[in-house]
Amino acid sequence: MSLLATAGAASAASAADVSRASFGKANGRDVEAITLSNAAGMKTRIITYGAAVQSLIIPDRDGHMDDVALGHSTIEPYLAKPQFFGATVGRVANRIARGRFVLDGKTYQTPVNDGVNSLHGGSKGFDKVIWEVVSVKSGPSASVTLRYVSPDGDQGYPGTLTTIATYSLDEKNQLTIDYTATTDKPTVVNLSNHTYWNLAGEGSPLGAMGHLLTIPADYYTPTDAGAIPTGELRPVAGTVFDFRKPTPIGARVRDASEEQIRFGKGYDHNWVVDRKIAAQPRLMLRVEEPVHGRVMEVLSNQPGVQFYSGNFLDATSSGKAGHLYRQGDAIVIEPQMFPDTPNQPAFGSVRLDPGQTYHNIIVLRFSTAPAR
C-alpha cells in the first residue's frame, strides 16, 4: 500500500462517525436519535425531542465504558414525566421572577411553572418540542445540527426566534454544544443545556455526591426562598459555596446552618465566573469522579454557571440501567447568563435585537485522572 493510501486509511479509521435511528413518536410526530461516535469509543446520542443528550458513553481510567448521562431508553418517560433530562432549555433558561419582564416599556407574562416563577422558558419550553435535523456530518468531528423556530408570542415571549443547536464530537473526547439564535423583534434569550451527569455511571449506586468539584469563581448570587437572586454578588470565601479548590460535593450539601442550602435543599445556585460574555470559551467548572477517574471540564463564553446538585430527584422515575434516580444521584451544570437577568439590569442583559446573533458555546472535555 502506498504512503498516500496508508495515510488515507488511517484518516478514515480515526474519523468520527454519525448514525440516525427512530426514537419513537411524540404527539404523533417522529422523534429521531442521532448517534455521534469517535475512534476512542466515546459515543453520544442526541434526540430531536428537546434537542437533548439521551446518552454519553465514555471510558474510565481502566478503559471501562459507562453511560454518564441520566435519561430514558424510550420516548414515553420523557413525555410522561418531563424532568429536563439532557434537554436544551429556553427561551430563557433558569428563572424569571413571577414570569414577568419589561421590554421597551411593555410588560410580558410568561407561564408560571415553578411556584410563582417561570422556569426554563415556561410550561412548554424548548425541552418539550421536536427540533428539525438540519444536517449531520462525519469527519475529524461528527456533528448534528438541529433547528427550532419559536413563533412570536410563544410562551408569552415576543418575536419569532430561530434557534440552532449543533452538537459536535471530536477525536479528543470533546463534545461541543453550540447554541445560536436570531429574532425578527426585540426579545430576551438565555439558552443552556440541562444534562444530569453522574461520572460513575447513570445507574451507579455511588451517586454523584462524592464527585470532586472545582468552580473558579470568587462570587455567587444568593437567592430568596423562591430561588430568585437577591441582586447581591456574595463572596464564596468562608462559605459552603467555595469550590475554588477541589471539594467533594457532598461535604457541605446538607449544611443546615446555611440558609441558602435550606432554600434550595442543596446547591441550585449561579456562580459568577465573570461579569461579561467572553470572546472564547473559558473554564467554568471541573468535576472529577475519584473512584473511576473520569474527569469533565466545562468551558463556555457565558459569565455564569448554574450548579444544581440533583436535590429534587425523588425516586419516582428510573433510568436506562433500571435504577431509580434519587436525590444526589446526579448533577447539572448550566453555563448561562445569571438567573432573572431580564429583571435585574445590574446582572447584564439577555436582550436580543433583529440583526444580532445570540451565542452560547459549551465545551465538555472528558479525560481521566490517576487514582488518588
What's the whole-number mean pLDDT along residues 292-297? 98
Torsion, Cα 235 341 335 274, to 10 degrees, reads: -40
**What per-residue confidence (pLDDT) applies to 7?**
31
Mean pLDDT of the residues in the chain: 95
Residue 58: the pLDDT is: 98
Strands 43-47 and 17-26: unpaired
Measured between alpha carbons, how far is 180 from 191 in angstroms, rounded to an integer?
9
Confidence at residue 372, expressed as pLDDT on a 0 to 100 scale: 86
Residues 41-52 have a mean pLDDT of 98
Residue 25, classified by CB atoms within 10 Å of its CB into exposed (0-12), middle (13-18) or buried (19+), is: middle
Q: How far apart are CA 27 and CA 108, in angstroms?
A: 28
Give the model's confidence band at 14: pLDDT under 50 very low, under 70 low, under 90 confident, else very high. Answer: low
Nearest to 282 by CA among 307, 309, 304: 304
4 — pLDDT class (breaks 50, 70, 90): very low
Q: Is 334 a catalytic residue?
A: yes
Cell of 248: 467533594
**Coil, helix or strand for 220?**
strand
Q: What is the pLDDT of residues 188-222, one digit of tens each?
A: 999 999 999 999 999 999 999 999 999 999 999 99
Confidence of residue 11 (pLDDT cuts 50, 70, 90): very low
Confidence of residue 358 (pLDDT cuts 50, 70, 90): very high
From the candidates 32, 202, 289, 334, give the one annotated as an active-site residue: 334
Q: Is 200 helix (H, G, I), strand (E, B) or coil?
A: coil
Distance CA 174, CA 170 (A): 6
Give start and end residues of each alpha helix (H) in the chain.
3-14, 76-80, 259-264
Average pLDDT over residues 271-291: 98
* DSSP one-letter code for 172: T
Cα distance between residue 100 and residue 95, in whole Å = 10
| Three-class SS state of 310 | coil
DSSP 229: B
Q: Which domains does the chain have, with CATH numbers?
A: 3-368 (2.70.98.10)
Query: Band of the pLDDT at 15, cuts 50, 70, 90?
Result: confident
Tens digit of each residue's pLDDT (9 = 90 or more) over 120-156: 999 999 999 999 999 999 999 999 999 999 999 999 9
Catalytic residue, chosen from 72, 120, 194, 269, is 194
pLDDT at 240 over 50: yes
From residue 158, alpha-carbon distances to 14, 68, 130 in Å are: 45, 37, 20
194 is catalytic: yes
Q: What is the pLDDT of residues 50-94, one digit of tens each?
A: 999 999 999 999 999 999 999 999 999 999 999 999 999 999 999
pLDDT at 29 > cutoff 90: yes
